[in-house]
Structures are given as structure tokens and as C-alpha cells.
Chains A and B, each alone.
Chain A
């Protein structure tokens, strides 16, 4: 079983739709949960950062973490064509030199 599972997509939605992106994981030591966004021919950039369980909202984006189910989600409200990108979930444990474990990314396409 891979440590982090993420559906690669592509996920195609019309402009204005609500988008749900998800990752599951197996390592119960993960404490930090992130979503990175990667536009074509660019490096990933941090979008959302959550510690432990709960929700975090930033504008049109909401990140949810359910540690009991080992499941994290990113919701995008009122999706825009500019949201078209690959979204990577990432996680790490609470240890001094822990590194991030990334999902393989979900490609999102928002059509006008």
C-alpha cells in the first residue's frame, strides 16, 4: 500500500463548479497536511497548510483533514479557468528532519 494515494484525473469541470480533490494516506504519524498547486511548466507552490485535524478556509479554498479516516480534501468554490493546474497533496510527521511525502497530483481543468 502506497503511503499517499491521489487520483491523477484529469478532473474536468465547468466554470463556477465546486471542486473536491482528495487524498488518502496510511501513515498515522502524519501531522502536517498541505496542498500545493502546480501550473504547467512551473514549480509547485504552497496553497494550503493544515496542522492535525480540522478545517481551514482561505478565500475560495477550504482544506479538510480527517485523521480518523486518514483522508484529506481540498474544496474549491466558484472554480475559475485560472484554477486549472495540477494539485498535489503533501504530508509530513512531527519529527525534526522529516521530509514531505507527496501524492502524485490531480490535474484539474476548468472550462469557461
Chain B
């Protein structure tokens, strides 16, 4: 019954490595998001996408890029990993546009998370 799948639960990488975090959803959702979650800082939005090949910067995009070649897949890329990117990364998806009492755009379905450690 898993709907948002993150390919790796735990990763350990070295400083300077290129890191790919993959996320796949099977709900035909238009919107996909990447967050990171850190103690004391909460959830912070890195990038999001409202359609295939579209991407928008979130609150903390520096050091990250994303790719959305297919509707169901949204990848987060760390071009050169640094120790301050050690974190829990959460992918989420939702449907439609915000607006209206029943807006599905606010109903995020999250993956289980990918815990990345950069040494």
C-alpha cells in the first residue's frame, strides 16, 4: 500500500560526492516536493514541481538541484555533498492546485524519508 517510495532509507556519503535521492509516487499526483527535516528547524522546503519538467525553488535550494522527467518520479541531486547536508530528506506529493475548501493540493502524502549522512 506504499504510495510514495523513496529509494534509499539510509545513505552514507563522503564530502564532495554527487548524491541522487529518488522518489516515486503511484497516485498520478501533479505536485511533488522535497523537504529536509532537522532537529529544532522542522521541515524546510528545498524544491517543488507542479508538472513534468517544471521546478520551483523552495526556501533552501542552495546546494541542491532536482529533475522531473516523468510525472511519477522526482529526483533530488546534491552536486557536491557537504557535511551540512547531513539530514533526513522527505519527498511528498499532492494533487491539483490550491484553492477551494476541498483543495487537494494541501493534502501531502509523504514518503518514509531518506536519512543521509555526509562524512
> Are B112 and A42 interface neighbours, CB within 8 A?
yes
Complex interface: chain B residues within 8 A of A88 (CB): 42-43
- The reply to whether B106 and A42 contact each other, CB–CB distance below 8 Å, is no
- Contact of A92 with B97 at beta-carbon distance under 8 Å, contacts A43-B92, A104-B41, A104-B42 already known: no
- With a CB–CB cut-off of 8 A, which chain B residues contact A100? 45, 106, 108
Cα distance, A104 to B39, chains bound together (Å): 9
**Whole-angstrom distance between the alpha carbons of A92 and B31 in the complex?**
15
Q: How far is the CB of A102 from chain B (nearest CB, A)?
A: 4
Q: In the complex, how many residues of chain A place their beta carbon closer than 8 angstroms to a beta carbon of chain B? A: 28
Hey, which chain B residues are within 8 Å of A8, CB to CB? 40
Contact with A along B48-59 (1 / 0, CB 8 A): 101000001010
A43 touches B110 (CB 8 A): yes
**Given A42-B113, A46-B107, A92-B106: A99 and B42 interface contact (C-beta under 8 Å):** no
Q: With A99-B45, A103-B42, A105-B42 given, is the CB distance from A94 to B98 under 8 Å?
A: yes
> Quick check: is A95 within 8 A (CB to CB) of the other chain?
yes
The answer to whether A32 touches B98, judged by C-beta atoms less than 8 angstroms apart, is yes
**Cα separation A42 to B105 with both chains bound (whole Å):** 21
A52→B100 CA distance, assembly (Å): 10
Residues of A within 8 A of B (CB): 8, 32, 34, 36, 41-46, 49, 51-52, 88, 90, 92-100, 102-105
- Apart from A88-B42, A96-B98, A97-B97, what 14 extra A-B contacts exist at CB < 8 Å? A43-B4, A43-B113, A44-B108, A45-B109, A45-B110, A49-B106, A51-B102, A95-B98, A95-B99, A96-B97, A98-B105, A99-B48, A100-B106, A102-B43
